[in-house]
Amino acid sequence: MNYAKQVRICEVSTRDGFQTLPPIAVADKVKLLDLMADAGIREIEVGSFLGERSGVDSMRSTPEVFQKMNRRPGVVYRALLQTPAGMREAADAGCPKVKINISGSGTHYRLMTGKSIAEGMEGFREIGAIAARHQMTLLGSISLAFVSPYDGWIPSQDIKEIIRRFIDCGATEISLNDTAGMAFPNQVRERFLEMKAEFPEIRTWAFHAHNTRGTGLANVLAALDAGVDRIDSSLAGIGGCTVFKNASGNIATEDTVYMLNGMGIETGIDLEKAIKAGEFVESLVDPSKTDSYIQRLEKIKRQGNGIE
């Protein structure tokens, strides 16, 4: 296995985790961001800049969160967006890094935005121009980069065309996302290897996994074996797509850190502090929306029961 010795985990609970849930108070988001930084998390997806988009009320407070949060030295604070209007909001908020998101599935992207993939990519050039003026880092992100519940297996050529457009607008990192949690480890590994061979100019590759069908951590290992060293995860395993019915969450940060730290892969994250941050997340949301093995074990311990 060809695992990196160091892996950066990006925490996405304040964006992907909260986006399908009732709005969380700005003060609670700011407190959670502090708990993440205290735990040693060094990249955080704070929220989404919606631009003209509507229907994601939980992300409306993102500009205010950027205004009020404590920006810790050494922590990269980023946000997700899909349009030039969202990019202008991000620049105004002083967001240093943005994740431009588009789907590999035409049906999925139209359900999210009412646009075709080609129409969505028309905004990339303006997004890149704004980023260049404000010296913002661009991460190109592809939802359903492997398989879609609507369109089945996503052809490699479709993914390559999107990546080319990301590179043209100045993206220096690429994230392939298993948004529906439908991919298998061999598919994840092979797709990353193919894309890395096609685009050697991209040095930083990330994997965004959902655990809908219980394959999330196995897929993480497959991505690591393909040389990926950036992994998205969400405290308490919260999250889900805004258009999927009954979508479950991302892989849990606590579970991911437990696995990687135990394998001797350096994450820089203190597991006990990450657990405390996850407990705070659990206090903010419906318990049925959480999904972390480590948090379940912690509950058993707090009840005075042993674990063998």
Quote the pLDDT of residue 57. Answer: 82
pLDDT in tens, 66-117: 999 999 999 999 999 999 999 999 999 999 999 999 999 999 999 988 999 9
Q: Between 50 and 215, where is the model more confident? A: 215
Measured distance CA(294)–CA(271) in Å, rounded: 10
Mean pLDDT of 294-304: 92
Catalytic residues: 241
Counting residues of the chain whose pLDDT is more than 90, the rounded percentage is 88
Measured distance CA(165)–CA(149) in Å, rounded: 24
Per the structure block, which two tokens stand in for 1? 């296995």
Buried b (16+ CB within 10 A) or exposed e, 252-269: bbbbbbbbbbeeebebeb
Lowest mean pLDDT among 138-152, 166-180, 231-245: 231-245
Quote the pLDDT of residue 51. Answer: 81
Measured distance CA(92)–CA(256) in Å, rounded: 34
- pLDDT exceeds cutoff 80 at 54: no
Give the global pTM: 0.96
Q: With bands split at pLDDT 50, 70 and 90, how would you rate the model's confidence at 47?
A: very high
Domain boundaries, the chain: 8-302
pLDDT in tens, 224-272: 999 999 999 999 999 988 788 776 789 999 999 999 999 999 999 999 9
Q: Which CATH class is domain 8-302?
A: alpha beta
Measured distance CA(114)–CA(35) in Å, rounded: 37
Look over the chain and give the mean of its residue pLDDT values, rounded to a whole number: 95
> Are the beta carbons of 300 and 32 closer than 8 angstroms?
no
Q: With bands split at pLDDT 50, 70 and 90, how would you rate the model's confidence at 53?
A: low
Residue 41 to residues 63, 232, 242: CA-CA distances in angstroms? 21, 11, 25
Mean pLDDT of 188-195: 98
Q: With bands split at pLDDT 50, 70 and 90, how would you rate the model's confidence at 55?
A: low
Counting residues of the chain whose pLDDT is more than 70, the rounded percentage is 98
